[in-house]
């Protein structure tokens, strides 16, 4: 049971970075970035290749840079070439499939079984300390906490405020002499960097990267984000970002428990799809409910329509 929770925590912390990426793009910029899946795999592939060449630490910034580039392309397509933002994400996602295989030198998988990873380094470092058993957890907790703190600090700077206002009221961003094109671009680059880092960590965690690693990550992360929103609806950015991380953990925990109840592993994606659909649909249905109720009460009184 304890190891089950620990694994859920570890995976939750890894995916939390993608959830934070969506927190930035989906919640702040109000852009639904459909390139997340491909970008996640890109981070995993780029990170794995760099780790394989003997630089497991350098893999992290490399994956972030790769993700940032992907975010930049998505942003340029929608801001400079007039491509609808959903379509821009889909296009980039499709293109990334080829790019990701190319990054892995034509293979659809890279194994890190015989290479040092961030986690093996941490294991060796923490060998004779009380933290020895939880070296993965320590690394991931530090990284994710750092991401939450830096993101919160950033979102309270003038640039961060401009990014938040972009999703809230673009007119007001322009009125503040800031180009929304710029804020969307910066926001998507950062969000790409976080997604890439998330993918890189997952690859090092499970010691392999493969072309389908990112499939469905967007839905899973969106489900986590929406769970997090229920946990921390109001409040400052720090609270809401922490809520997003908690949502990621809770999602993995629910999933792990479902597996215990003999739910087959392939049900993960259906589960997340249902969660996303429900969390978005429930507030809508709640609003519709009084209408349905009255329509039923006044049967026959609906007039001619």
Partner 1 sequence: MLNLTHITKTFNPGTVNEKTALRDISLHLDRGDFVTVIGSNGAGKSTLMGAIAGDFLTDSGTVELDGRDVTLAPSHLRAKRMGRLFQDPARGTAPGMTIEENLTLAGGKGGWFSRTSKTDRSRFREILSQLDMGLEDRLRQPVGLLSGGQRQALALLMATMETPDLLLLDEHTAALDPQTAEKVLAVTRRVVEENRITTLMVTHNMTQALTLGTRTLMMDSGSIVLDIGGEERKTMTVEGLLAAFRANVGRGLDTDRILLRPEGE
User: Which residues contact partner 1 (rule: CB under 8 A)?
Assistant: 156-159, 161-162, 164-165, 167-169, 171-180
Q: Which is nearer to partner 1, 158 or 287 (CB)?
A: 158
278 contact partners, CB below 8 Å, separation of at least 6 = none
Q: Which is nearer to partner 1, 76 or 125 (CB)?
A: 76
Segments in 23-134 forming alpha helices (H) = 36-52, 59-80, 85-103, 118-125
Tokens for 153?
């600090």
Task: Report the C-alpha gap between 131 and 146 in whole angstroms.
Answer: 19
Min dist CB 153 to partner 1, Å, is 8
Q: Which is nearer to partner 1, 44 or 163 (CB)?
A: 163
Min dist CB 71 to partner 1, Å, is 18
Task: Report the C-alpha gap between 79 and 75 in whole angstroms.
Answer: 6
Q: Which is nearer to partner 1, 178 or 190 (CB)?
A: 178
Min dist CB 178 to partner 1, Å, is 6
Tokens for 95?
């293109």
The SS3 of residue 247 is helix
Task: Report the C-alpha gap between 292 and 302 in whole angstroms.
Answer: 12
Min dist CB 249 to partner 1, Å, is 25
Cβ–Cβ < 8 Å for 209, 44: yes
Min dist CB 169 to partner 1, Å, is 5
Long-range contacts: 276-281, Cβ < 8 Å, 24+?
Answer: 276/219, 276/222, 276/223, 276/226, 279/223, 279/226, 279/227, 279/229, 279/230, 280/226
Cβ–Cβ < 8 Å for 73, 51: no
Min dist CB 79 to partner 1, Å, is 13
Q: Which is nearer to partner 1, 173 or 276 (CB)?
A: 173
Min dist CB 175 to partner 1, Å, is 5
Q: Which is nearer to partner 1, 14 or 232 (CB)?
A: 232
**CA proximity to 27, closest of 214, 247, 177:** 247
Min dist CB 184 to partner 1, Å, is 13
Q: Which is nearer to partner 1, 150 or 230 (CB)?
A: 150
193 contact partners, CB below 8 Å, separation of at least 6 = 21, 64, 65, 67, 68, 71
Q: Which is nearer to partner 1, 53 or 176 (CB)?
A: 176
Half-sphere exposure of 164 (CA within 13 A, CB side): 13
């Amino acid at each position: 049971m304890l190891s089950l929770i620990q694994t859920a925590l570890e995976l939750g912390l890894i995916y939390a970075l993608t959830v934070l990426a969506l927190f930035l793009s989906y919640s702040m910029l109000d852009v639904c970035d459909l390139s997340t899946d491909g970008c996640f795999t890109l981070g995993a592939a780029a990170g794995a290749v760099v780790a394989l060449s003997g630089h497991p630490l350098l893999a992290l910034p490399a994956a972030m840079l790769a993700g940032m580039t992907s975010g930049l392309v998505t942003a340029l397509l929608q801001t400079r070439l007039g491509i609808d933002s959903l379509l821009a994400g889909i296009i980039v996602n499709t293109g990334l499939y080829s790019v990701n295989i190319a990054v892995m030198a034509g293979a659809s998988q890279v194994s890190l079984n015989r290479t040092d990873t961030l986690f093996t380094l941490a294991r060796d470092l923490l060998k004779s300390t009380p933290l020895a058993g939880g070296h993965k957890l320590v690394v991931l907790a530090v990284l994710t906490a750092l991401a939450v703190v830096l993101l919160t600090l950033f979102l309270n700077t003038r640039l961060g405020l401009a990014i938040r206002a972009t999703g809230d009221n673009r007119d007001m961003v322009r009125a503040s002499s800031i180009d929304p094109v710029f804020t969307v671009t910066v926001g998507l680059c950062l969000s790409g960097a976080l997604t890439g880092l998330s993918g890189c960590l997952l690859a090092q965690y499970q010691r392999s990267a493969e072309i389908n690693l990112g499939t469905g990550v967007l839905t899973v992360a969106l489900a986590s984000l929406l769970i997090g929103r229920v946990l921390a609806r109001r409040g400052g950015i720090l609270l809401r970002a922490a809520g997003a991380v908690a949502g990621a953990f809770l999602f993995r925990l629910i999933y792990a428990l479902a597996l215990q109840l003999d739910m087959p592993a392939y049900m993960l994606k259906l589960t997340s799809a249902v969660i996303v659909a429900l969390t978005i649909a429930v507030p809508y249905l709640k609003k519709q409910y009084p209408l349905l109720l009255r329509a039923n009460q006044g049967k026959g009184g609906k007039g001619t329509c």
